[in-house]
Structure 1
Amino acid sequence: MDHWSACFLFVSFLGTVFHTNGAELTFELPDSSKECFYQEIEKNVSATLEFQVVTGGQYDVDVTLEAPNKEIIYRQVKTQFDSHTFVASMSGVYKACFSNEFSTFSHKLVYMEFQVGDEPSLPGVGEHVTVMTQMESSAQEIHKNLNSIMEYQTHHRLREAQGRKRAEDLNERVLWWSLQETLAVLIISIGQVYILKNFFTDRKPSQNL
């Protein structure tokens, strides 16, 4: 495994994490291609689609969100990241599509989270008719804060991976530019030495005619 693959090992793991109320994954989006994902949502249920281009090209994709009746309820063109929250107007399967068809050579890695409904509460908490005890309230608050921390960590790692890839690309460009400059300096130096050598070389009489 090379350093580039290791850098995104954590995002590959996210691709296996699916929730009953949504999905969180990363996927590869080749050049001139389109990928669609489907999520069943009940009527009047709130949902959030969030995405971010981690690597590739200008870090942008085209995104559309389609309702079961084929109506486009959200569209973005050449966007790096965004988040869209909506309330389902009807029950059915909603389709989120990510397009890289405008690019003919840039391979991209995209992170997506499709959250449906509210975050589930702790098991056993709030299931009784009495008021929650102080311990239950504290446990519920801790659970909520831990979920927020997990979200912050995910976005921080995505930004870290994106920054690392950009730094590696910049380092590679600087390396190649330095090699080209070094080669150019060597060629010019050799040429100058050759020209100066001809100036100080004694010519034969036949050459002066």
Structure 2
Amino acid sequence: MQTLTFVLSFYFSLSTAFYFHVGEREEKCIIEDIPSDTLITGTFKIQQWDIRRQDFLESAPGLGMFVTVTTYNDEVLLSKLYGPQGRFYFTSHSPGEHIICLESNSTRLVSFGGSKLRIHLEIRVGQRDLDAGLAQAKDRVNEVSFKLEHLIEQIEQIVKEQNYQRDREEDFRMISEDTNSNVLWWAFVQTLIFISIGIFQMKYLKDFFIAKKLV
């Protein structure tokens, strides 16, 4: 497999579109110097050479593009097979040069011949396209909606917990009042018992002394 490599330097938030010619299963790599935590968006399209027309076809059905993104530390950020046209994303984790390699698959299963390919490629550094931005905004709206629903559920759960604690406090207050009331009545009963016992003891002692003729 032949590999052709060239270097492109982009500034932050710059979009560059170009095309190049390769053969089937020929890999071409682009080296970009990217800041850390920077979003990279790539859009590509494959056109195949038609021998009969002596021109490139508008599309290349049956072909695919294998995209690999690595750093010079051999960290793989992306490795995925796409169709004849597509869009890929990756985010740099550290500043430095990143290698974006594109390689088409074979056309052995394609009905028309030709091994010469034209690859249209657009690289966006630090930005997304409008469609992706709208999709991301929709995802964010869905995420915010989900978080809002979750927050409402949490608030409802907190209200339920507060009501439950309030009911428990009310039950505890009623039990405390009943206990205090019972203690008060028990103290009153004990007082009556002690008074009754005292009266009984005094009467018993008086009768005892009278019986013994001590008084």
**TM over 0.5, yes or no?**
no
TM-score (norm 2): 0.41
